């Protein structure tokens, strides 16, 4: 546990002269955060809450250096747990690492988990995170029973699907702009064992991938694909599809799985470390390591859900220039050719990336700005360069033409006019903001960029 604590800090790269806050993409904004165990006191007068800083872009960064940013991670108590139903209520700073550590061995798991466990409950609500089981379970918000919130006028209220439902819906995926989340009540999922039966399959190209995801969806509660996004031509979009379900007692080993140790990245890599040659070599190895067309094995939740968490602060591999992730969803209605066209555009614009992930999403949830919609989601890491803005613009224009949208949690470069064009739900969200925060007191660097809030 001693090790577990040091990961629960948000470390700024060394040598920053003025205080700065960083998102996961390491592009900073000037500002500082305030820490306390007493979230009720801390959020009074604050304009933004921030958990473990794992959102890639600017959603957890302040609009202005003097803004009061409340860091929630010390407010991490479980307030109630019912071992009969799995209903749990906890302060917003409780992390998924801690939740897994405490409940995985007791037969409970978060109903939805993103690809990192270094997130807080408050962050999971504000991003309305999705995971490998989105096609079955929807977003995290679908499992939230109620939220305790401090609003822009400093009052504290409870909202739920039945109580102040408009506030509840605007808060799921609302990027912290509707109020400070103080406590979250949701339902844990019963698991038969803490092991996962995983089937992996080599997939030859993007068309085959879309089909494979569709075929796997009814059979497997959890699916995701890794794509080698450097390969072009007939093998464009080749990769590995991973599907899984919780293993039964007969299938699982008798001992519990590990909780995942970490090795820290010893230093920030030089900017040239991630380049087409190194990434091409890595991707080729990763693809052909999977020699058999199909393989089945029993794995722990760590390698299955959180492969990258094994390396603490892996974002350092992109060097000091920082990086971003582009994640979009192309609606099912646009068809498989649209996904192929998107992949063609992505490989042509050519951000060399070892990380490109594909996932089929289920129906859209109730969150007014929640990312997923029925269709195919693609996420790709890109080192930041002078070209990044142009690449994001081109990708966004294509996504708009398909009727799709992007994930705000990953975003730092989308233009406001593009966001408006891809978000028919935006007026409803802005109306909720107008109602609950007419002065727009609550804001972030992202809300300045996308909604024109004052800096």
Residue from 16, 45, 66, 83 touching another protein (CB under 8 A): that is 83
Interface with another protein, residue 79, by CB under 8 A? yes
> Token match 């939230």: residue?
144
Q: Supply the minimum distance, in Å, between the C-beta of residue 68 and another protein.
A: 13
Is residue 85 involved in binding another protein (CB under 8 A)? Answer: no
190 binds another protein (CB under 8 A): no
Nearest partner of 377 among 225, 229, 271, 222, judged by Cα: 225
- Single out the residue of 12, 20, 65, 81 in contact with another protein (rule: CB under 8 A): 81
Helices (H), 127-194: 134-137, 165-171
- List the structure tokens of 341: 């066209």
- x/- letters, 11..50, toward another protein (CB under 8 A): -----------------------xxxxx------------
Which tokens is 320 given?
């000091």
Q: CB of residue 49 vs another protein: minimum separation in angstroms?
A: 15
Contact status, residue 231 vs residue 284, Cβ threshold 8 Å:
no
Alpha helices in 46-162 (DSSP H): 96-103, 121-126, 134-137
If one asks whether residue 6 binds another protein (CB under 8 A), the answer comes out as yes
Comparison of 5 and 296: residue with beta carbon closer to another protein: 5
Q: How far is the CB of 97 from another protein (least distance, A)?
A: 12
Closer residue to another protein (CB): 79 or 455: 79
Nearest alpha-carbon partner for 276 in 187, 214, 351, 349: 351
The total number of residues written for the chain in this structure: 455
What is the DSSP secondary-structure string of 249-275?
TTTS-SSPPP----EE-SSPPPGGGSS
Listed residue (362, 352, 258) closest to 310, CA to CA = 258
CA distance 22 to 32: 10
Choices 71-79, 226-234, 308-316, 359-367 (CB under 8 A): range interacting with another protein: 71-79
Site for another protein (CB under 8 A): which residue of 12, 78, 336, 345? 78
Burial, 245: exposed, middle or buried (Cβ in 10 Å; 0-12, 13-18, 19+)? middle
Q: Does 291 bind another protein (CB under 8 A)?
A: no
Angstrom distance (rounded) from CA 404 to CA 269: 34
Which is nearer to another protein, 46 or 368 (by Cβ)?
46
Rule CB under 8 A: say whether 299 interacts with another protein.
no
Interface map 98-117 toward another protein (x if CB under 8 A) = ----x---x-----------
Q: Check binding of 156 to another protein (CB under 8 A).
A: no
Q: Which residues bind another protein (CB under 8 A)?
A: 1-2, 4-6, 9, 34-38, 74, 77-81, 83, 88, 91, 102, 106
């Amino acid at each position: 546990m001693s090790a577990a604590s040091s990961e629960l800090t948000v470390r700024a790269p060394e040598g920053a002269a003025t205080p700065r806050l960083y998102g996961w993409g390491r592009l900073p904004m000037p500002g500082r955060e305030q820490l306390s165990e007493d979230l009720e006191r801390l959020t009074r007068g604050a304009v933004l809450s921030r958990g473990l800083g794992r959102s890639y872009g600017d959603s957890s960064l302040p609009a202005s250096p003097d803004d009061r940013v409340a860091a929630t991670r010390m407010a991490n108590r479980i307030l109630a747990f019912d071992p009969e139903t799995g209903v749990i209520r906890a302060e917003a700073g409780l992390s998924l690492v801690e939740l897994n550590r405490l409940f995985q061995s007791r037969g409970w798991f978060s109903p939805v988990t993103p690809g990192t466990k270094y997130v807080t409950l408050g962050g999971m609500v504000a991003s309305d995170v999705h995971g490998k089981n989105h096609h079955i379970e929807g977003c995290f918000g679908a499992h939230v029973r109620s939220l305790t919130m401090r609003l822009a006028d400093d009052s504290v209220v409870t909202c739920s699907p039945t109580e102040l439902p408009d506030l509840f819906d605007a808060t799921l995926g609302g990027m912290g702009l509707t109020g400070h989340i103080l406590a979250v009540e949701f339902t844990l999922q019963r698991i038969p064992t803490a092991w996962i039966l995983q089937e992996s399959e080599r997939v030859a190209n993007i068309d085959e991938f879309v089909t494979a995801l569709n075929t796997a969806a009814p059979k497997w509660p959890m699916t995701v694909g890794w794509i080698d996004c450097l390969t072009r031509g007939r093998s464009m979009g080749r990769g590995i599809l991973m599907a899984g379900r919780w293993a039964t007692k007969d299938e699982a080993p008798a001992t519990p799985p590990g909780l995942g140790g970490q090795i820290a990245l010893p230093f920030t890599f030089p900017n040239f470390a991630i380049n087409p040659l190194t990434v091409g070599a890595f991707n080729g190895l990763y693809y052909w390591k999977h020699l058999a067309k199909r393989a089945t094995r029993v794995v722990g939740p760590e390698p299955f859900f959180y492969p990258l968490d094994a390396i603490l602060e892996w974002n350092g591999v992109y060097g000091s220039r920082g990086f971003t992730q582009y994640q979009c969803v192309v609606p099912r209605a646009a068809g498989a050719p649209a996904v192929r066209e998107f992949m063609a555009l992505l490989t042509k614009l050519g951000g060399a990336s070892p990380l490109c992930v594909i996932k089929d999403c289920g129906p859209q949830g109730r969150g007014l700005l929640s990312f997923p919609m029925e269709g195919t989601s693609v996420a790709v890491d890109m080192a930041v360069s002078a070209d990044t803005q142009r690449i994001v613009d081109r990708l966004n224009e294509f996504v708009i033409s398909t009727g799709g949208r992007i994930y705000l949690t990953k975003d730092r470069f989308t233009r406001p006019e593009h966001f408006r064009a891809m978000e028919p739900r935006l007026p409803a969200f802005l109306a909720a903001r107008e109602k609950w925060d007419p002065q727009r007191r609550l804001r972030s660097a992202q809300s300045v960029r996308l909604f024109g809030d004052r800096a």
